[in-house]
Amino acid sequence: MSVERTGTYLTLDDGRPAVRFTRTYDHPVERVWQFVTDADELVHWFPSRAEIELRPGGAIKFSGDPGMADSTGQVLAVEAPRHLSFEWGGDELHFDLEALDGKRTRFTLTNILIAENTAARNGAGWDVCLSALDARARGEHFEGPHAGVNAPWEAVYASWVEAGVPSGAPIPGVD
């Protein structure tokens, strides 16, 4: 089964590899900010439960991912309700929100990778997670990032690899 990737692999101006995803949601920026920062919203789409201390240098506690041990990260920057970036396992996650009008928001997630060979794995993971966020934004339920072995990641991962995106990193809970 072939699926369409919704993100792109890129090399940033500073030479670091990254995967990037952009969505438009029919919600004001303040609501999308809740999707990105509120632990009770994140649990519906983010790969781990994330409790974020929303200030530069603030701690983030990641828990509940069956394929990974609980861990912590650090907030790098916050400009509510437009930007959040933090460190997670050596990677950087950047969430940028742009109000398009009073009712819609452009959401951009950039995952700056610690290692190039994680691009296909992380890209596939974010594709699945963002499908869950898309459903949540529409008021629907999606069995996505927390569906364990039933998560539809294998076909998505194959599409990233087939596109020539760097791969080979271990997949938590599988390798």
* Look-up of token digits 């966020």: 133
Tell me the two tokens of residue 133. Answer: 């966020």
Most confident of 51-55, 131-135, 169-173: 51-55
3-class state of residue 167 by DSSP: coil
91-121 pLDDT tens trace: 999 999 999 998 999 999 999 999 999 999 9
**pLDDT for res 1:** 42
Instruction: Quote the mean pLDDT of the chain.
Output: 91
Residue partners of 160: CB distance under 8 A and separation at least 6: 5, 9, 119, 120, 121, 123, 124, 127, 167
Task: Give residue-wise pLDDT tens across range 160-174.
Answer: 999 999 999 998 877
- Exposure string over 128-144, b if 16+ CB within 10 A, otherwise e: bbbbbbbbbbeeeebeb
Query: What confidence score (pLDDT) does residue 65 get?
Result: 80
Tokens, residue 119 = 């691009």
Single-letter residue type at 87: E
Euclidean distance between CA atoms 159 and 168, whole angstroms: 14
- pLDDT at residue 71 tops 60: yes
| Phi, psi for 146 (deg, rounded to 5) | -105, 15
- What pTM was estimated for this model as a whole? 0.93
Least confident range from 81-95, 103-117, 124-138, 144-158: namely: 144-158
Q: Residue 9's closest CA among 174, 165, 121?
A: 165
The Cα 175–Cα 166 span in angstroms is 17
pLDDT over 70 (residue 148): no
Cα gap 75→147, rounded to integer Å: 27
Give 7-32 pLDDT, tens digit per residue.
999 999 999 999 999 999 999 999 99
